[in-house]
Copies of this chain bind each other. A is one copy, B any other.
Amino acid sequence: MFEQILNQIAVSRNFKKGEVLQSAGQESSKGYFVKKGLLRSFTIDDNGKEHIYMFASEGWILSDIEKEVFGNKTVLYIEAIEDSEVYIFNPGQIYQLDLQHEYTDYMISSLMKRIGVMQRRILALMSASARERYESFLQIYPDLQNRVPQKMIASYLGITPEALSKIRGQIIRNK
């Protein structure tokens, strides 16, 4: 569905595992639709620590909204976790598409779905323990467990790899 829209404005490119598609501090940003593979977006804080903002597997879009919405420099790095095929587009061009009604609805509901995912994330970060967040991560993204190194899952959950390892130990032993 989205691919049909994107074909009008996007170009396809392949990236190898570990390749960086975009860095923080840039003046321009792109939208990245994952056709195949797996990407991650993350920040690096003042202490040099990485914090994963999102994973994006097949069908998902990554983009640094900070640049688009607030006009600031990008704050996110975007990197391939697996060899990936990606449609790259210019976010501003979305407005230039002469969208048919069905596409408009799809666009709006995609954005709302994204907001829904983020609502859950915010509420979880504020009210759930690290273990609860990990268990709900496994439920919501069961496939990612095998595609993503644990230290990145920890980073997504907002904890250290050591803390996640301890939690996993607790879950395996008693419970």
Q: A171 within 8 Å of B by Cβ?
A: no
Q: Are B125 and A126 in contact (CB under 8 A)?
A: yes
Report A66-84 residues with CB < 8 Å from chain B CB.
66, 68-70, 75
Given contacts A108-B94, A126-B158, A127-B49, contact A115 B116 (CB under 8 A): no
| Closest B residue, CB atoms, query A113 | B69
- Which residues of chain B are near A126, meaning CB under 8 Å? 51, 125, 158
Given contacts A95-B105, A115-B114, A122-B121, contact A127 B68 (CB under 8 A): no
Q: A43 within 8 Å of B by Cβ?
A: yes
Q: How many residues of A contact B (CB 8 A)?
A: 39
Where chain A touches its partner, the secondary structure class is: helix
Q: Are A127 and B43 in contact (CB under 8 A)?
A: yes
CA distance A125 to B53 in the complex (A): 11
Q: A123 within 8 Å of B by Cβ?
A: yes
Task: Show 18 residue pairs from A and B whose CB-CB distance is below 8 angstroms, ordered by the A residue.
Answer: A45-B128, A51-B127, A53-B122, A65-B119, A66-B116, A66-B119, A68-B116, A69-B116, A95-B108, A99-B101, A108-B111, A111-B112, A111-B115, A114-B115, A118-B118, A118-B119, A122-B125, A125-B125
For the A-B complex with A65-B119, A68-B112, A108-B111 known, give 16 more contacts whose Cβ atoms are closer than 8 Å. A43-B123, A45-B127, A51-B126, A53-B119, A53-B122, A65-B112, A66-B116, A69-B117, A70-B116, A95-B109, A99-B101, A99-B104, A107-B108, A115-B118, A118-B122, A125-B125
